[in-house]
């Protein structure tokens, strides 16, 4: 997957700071009046979620946010290194832009790339408004190509993780992403402390298999 | 054949160096960690928050409001009796840019 949203959206004027496009002539229909919906199955494809969001299904929107939050978080904090309130503000700004522009998505299967592009542009806009970031010269988008490439790799790993049984996802996320100790994991999950290492090892084995499938090896 | 991505290249060495796999995994998962739940909740509530946009759209047509918003978005929204949340401010900027 390339973090390039150019194929995902309809034509329209280019928004300041980036290539994602705003639809014309759709303002009356979008966003729709919100309505409550039932909880979303995790197996729903992005295209299904987008369709439901377009019908005003709030639960579909919630599921979409939940699914793509690690991506947006990864772009904002991992690649552009925004911190604290800045990171939170841009995170909210990205999802506001996504929500307002969902009506312009032509290829919903490429939603992730489109959201990544919006997150990238929102982060750059923020840095420009903020005078170039912490070091004053960080508004050259080429400077972020390398971290965005690493993020792309990381998302492959995250996708593989998402296909593991939930208990394996949980233990790997706690140990590797949240840097929790065996003791903390044991207490949080109600598992004997002496079994944590072997559970992590088994989950890692499963993840290697998933990654092998993902990469065709 | 295209070379595997860099983080994943480290993972190819797992047979020789399991630690390299673990480090690469930790890096990948940390880079794509979930944000705080409060962030997700706020974003998930956007459809409810942006319900106020019908009113905002009417305001956008008023030159006096546009000028006030450009000077001080939060005060302009508060003065108009609308929530000055980040989502509404962002959405109004989108409307102004698109309009």
Rounded distance between C-alpha atoms, residue B46 and residue B86, angstroms: 10
Q: What is the CATH number of the domain that holds A171?
A: 1.10.10.10
**What does the pLDDT read at residue A102?**
85
Tell whether A72 and A115 lie within a shared domain. yes
Residue A82 backbone dihedrals phi, psi, to 5 degrees? -75, 150
Query: For all residues of chain A together, what is the average pLDDT?
Result: 78
ipTM of the complex: 0.71
Q: Are A3 and A113 in contact (CB under 8 A)?
A: yes
Cα Rg, chain A, nearest whole Å = 19
- Asked if residue A105 lies in contact with residue B76, where contact means CB atoms within 8 angstroms, the answer is no
**Helices then strands, each counted (H, E), chain B:** 8, 0
Whether A30 maps to a domain, the answer reads yes
Neighbours of A175 (CB within 10 A): 24
CATH code: domain of residue A4 = 1.10.1740.10
So what's the pLDDT on residue A171? Answer: 94
Question: Which residue range(s) make up the domain with A37?
Answer: 1-145
Total CB pairs under 8 A between chain A and B: 150
> Distance (Å, rounded) from C-alpha A80 to C-alpha A147?
8
Residues A42 and A140 in one domain: yes
State whether residue B26 sits within 8 Å of chain A by CB. yes
- Asked if pLDDT for residue A107 goes beyond 90, the answer is no
* Rounded CA separation A98/A65 (Å): 10
- Count of residues in chain B: 99
Cβ–Cβ contact B34 with A under 8 A: yes
Contacts of A56 in chain B (CB under 8 A): 47
Interface check for B13 against chain A (CB to CB < 8 A): the answer is: no
Distance from CA of A62 to the nearest CA of B (A): 5
Question: Burial level of A135, CB count in 10 A (0-12/13-18/19+)?
Answer: exposed
B17 touches chain A (CB under 8 A): no
For residue A73, the model assigns a pLDDT of 93
pTM for the model stands at 0.70
CA distance A152 to A169: 19
Residue A87 placed within a domain: yes
B61 and chain A: CB distance < 8 Å anywhere?
A: no
- Examine residue A18 and state whether it is found in any structural domain, yes or no: yes
My answer on whether A79 and A131 are in the same domain is: yes
- Indicate the residue of B5, B6, B32 with minimum beta-carbon distance to A74: B32
pLDDT, tens only, A29-47: 455 554 444 456 666 888 9
Q: How far is B4 from chain A (nearest CA, A)?
A: 8
* Arithmetic mean of pLDDT, B17-46: 84
């Amino acid at each position: 997957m390339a973090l390039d949203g150019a194929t995902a959206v309809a034509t329209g004027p280019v928004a300041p700071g980036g290539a994602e496009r705003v639809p014309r002539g759709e303002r009356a229909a979008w966003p729709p009046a919100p309505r409550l919906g039932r909880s979303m199955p995790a197996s729903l494809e992005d295209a299904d979620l987008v369709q439901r969001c377009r019908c005003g299904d709030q639960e579909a929107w919630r599921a979409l946010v939940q699914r793509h939050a690690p991506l947006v978080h990864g772009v904002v904090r991992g690649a552009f290194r925004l911190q604290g309130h800045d990171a939170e503000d841009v995170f909210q700004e990205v999802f506001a832009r996504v929500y307002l522009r969902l009506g312009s998505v032509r290829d919903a299967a490429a939603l992730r790339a489109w959201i990544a592009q919006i997150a990238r542009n929102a982060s750059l806009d923020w840095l420009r408004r903020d005078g170039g970031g912490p070091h004053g010269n960080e508004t050259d988008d080429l400077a972020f190509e390398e971290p965005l490439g690493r993020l792309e790799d990381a998302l492959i790993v995250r996708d593989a993780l998402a296909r593991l049984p939930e208990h394996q996802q949980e233990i790997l996320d706690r140990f590797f992403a949240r840097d929790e100790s065996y003791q903390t994991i044991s207490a949080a999950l109600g598992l004997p402390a002496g079994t944590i290492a072997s559970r992590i090892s088994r989950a890692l084995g499963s993840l290697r298999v998933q990654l092998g499938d993902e990469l065709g090896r | 054949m295209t070379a595997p991505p860099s983080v994943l290249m480290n993972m190819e060495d797992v047979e020789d160096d399991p630690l390299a796999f673990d480090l690469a995994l930790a890096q990948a998962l940390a880079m794509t960690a979930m944000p705080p739940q409060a962030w997700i909740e706020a974003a998930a509530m956007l459809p409810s928050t942006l319900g106020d946009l019908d009113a905002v759209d009417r305001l956008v047509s008023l030159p006096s409001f546009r000028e006030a918003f450009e000077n001080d978005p939060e005060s302009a929204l508060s003065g108009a009796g609308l929530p000055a949340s980040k989502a509404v401010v962002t959405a109004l900027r989108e409307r102004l840019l698109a309009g």
